[in-house]
A = this chain, B = another copy of it.
Amino acid sequence: MLWHDGALHEGGMLTLAAGDRGLLLADGLFETVLIVGGRPWRLMEHLTRLRNSADAIGMPIDTRPEEAILALAAHAAASADLGGLGAVRVTVTRGAGPRGLRLPPNPSPCVFATIAPWQPVMAFRPLRLQLAAIRRNEFSPLSRMKSLSYLDNILALEDAVRQGCDDALLLNTRGTVAATSAGNVFALRADLLVTPPIEDGVLPGITRQVVLAAAAGIGLSVREQSLTIAELKAADAAFATNSLRLICPIASLDGEEISRDTRLVTLMEALRAEIHADCGADPFAEPSRASQFL
């Protein structure tokens, strides 16, 4: 299902300007939002991040992203197939412009969104990571945004999968940990939970922020500081987060096993309760599911 120009459309085809800068130059942003119980999880945080990034790249933004997410969430609520669950992606491009890189004087952004099925089984899955040769560029403001530029991440992920892993671990150009192909990275050592700061080339993840708060709530110290591979490998537990997979334990890095710790399950349960509170439904309530992933 596609939202475009204020309405839902079936069929999956989109008509836009051949000069659309999102299509030609990756001049745009997106958000991926989890829908549970027909309601978007942490909607305001996603919209705020989108607006902050749009401001940073000088792209005007209006209420269409919110409208699109809410329309698709309502669709998920009404759909027997989706059962109130879904993954909404809303994309905002700077719209059409004349040839070349210069910004159009009066940009007219293009907004569209789609929903894909989401199942609880997609969350809380352990990851075997491979260290990527490609590095994340902390000298670029895009390293701190969900811009459309994902080909580096795609190539790193594909290389990891070819090597029998589930995802890639990307360092920044200074050689400290930045992110997986689509997630933030955390390491737990004793009572300290560490995740790299935004300046290290890190997306300010919504789930990252929720986890930092939840960790403080269960008595952990939390610190945003640069993380080395050695520190990650020596952790009591390490994990990756994003808005659809939530908390994924890092099982190994380059084949070397990383410890697990029951406090990860406590964090997972805290996140589950947080989603329940925000969306009014618990997709992990069915006992067979909860026992499988938690």
Residues of A within 8 A of B (CB): 2, 4, 12-20, 22-27, 30, 57-58, 87, 89, 91, 93, 96, 98-99, 101-103, 112, 114, 116, 133-135, 137, 139-142, 147-155, 157-158, 161, 173, 181-182
Contact of A181 among B2, B12, B24, B101 (CB under 8 A): B101
- The answer to whether residues A116 and B135 also contact, given A15-B13, A24-B148, A25-B154 and a CB cut-off of 8 A, is no
Q: Which residue of B has the minimal Cβ distance to A110? A: B23
- Complex CA gap A26/B182 in Å reads 15
Residues of B within 8 A of A15 (CB): 13-15
B139 to A173, Cβ gap below 8 A? Answer: yes
- Complex CA gap A58/B154 in Å reads 11
Contact of A134 among B27, B141, B161 (CB under 8 A): B141
Residues of B within 8 A of A157 (CB): 101-102
- The answer to whether residues A99 and B116 also contact, given A13-B17, A152-B140 and a CB cut-off of 8 A, is yes
B154 to A101, Cβ gap below 8 A? Answer: yes
- Complex CA gap A93/B140 in Å reads 24
Q: Which residue of B has the minimal Cβ distance to A96? A: B12
Residues of B within 8 A of A89 (CB): 24, 99
Counting from the closest, the 10 A-B pairs by CB-CB distance are A135-B139, A26-B26, A137-B137, A25-B150, A99-B116, A173-B173, A149-B149, A14-B18, A15-B15, A23-B23
- The answer to whether residues A57 and B24 also contact, given A12-B18, A16-B13, A137-B173 and a CB cut-off of 8 A, is no
Q: How far is the CB of A241 from chain B (nearest CB, A)?
A: 16
Residues of B within 8 A of A87 (CB): 99
B101 to A150, Cβ gap below 8 A? Answer: yes
Residues of B within 8 A of A57 (CB): 151, 155
- The answer to whether residues A19 and B26 also contact, given A99-B87, A137-B137 and a CB cut-off of 8 A, is no
Q: Which residue of B has the minimal Cβ distance to A21? A: B154
A25 to B151, Cβ gap below 8 A? Answer: yes
Contact of A24 among B4, B30, B134 (CB under 8 A): B30
Q: How far is the CB of A104 from chain B (nearest CB, A)?
A: 11
Residues of B within 8 A of A20 (CB): 14, 23
- Complex CA gap A175/B150 in Å reads 24
14 interchain pairs (CB within 8 A)?
Answer: A2-B18, A23-B148, A24-B91, A25-B150, A26-B150, A101-B154, A101-B182, A135-B139, A137-B152, A137-B173, A140-B152, A148-B149, A148-B151, A149-B149
- Complex CA gap A22/B99 in Å reads 18
A13 to B18, Cβ gap below 8 A? Answer: yes
Residues of B within 8 A of A139 (CB): 133-135, 137, 173
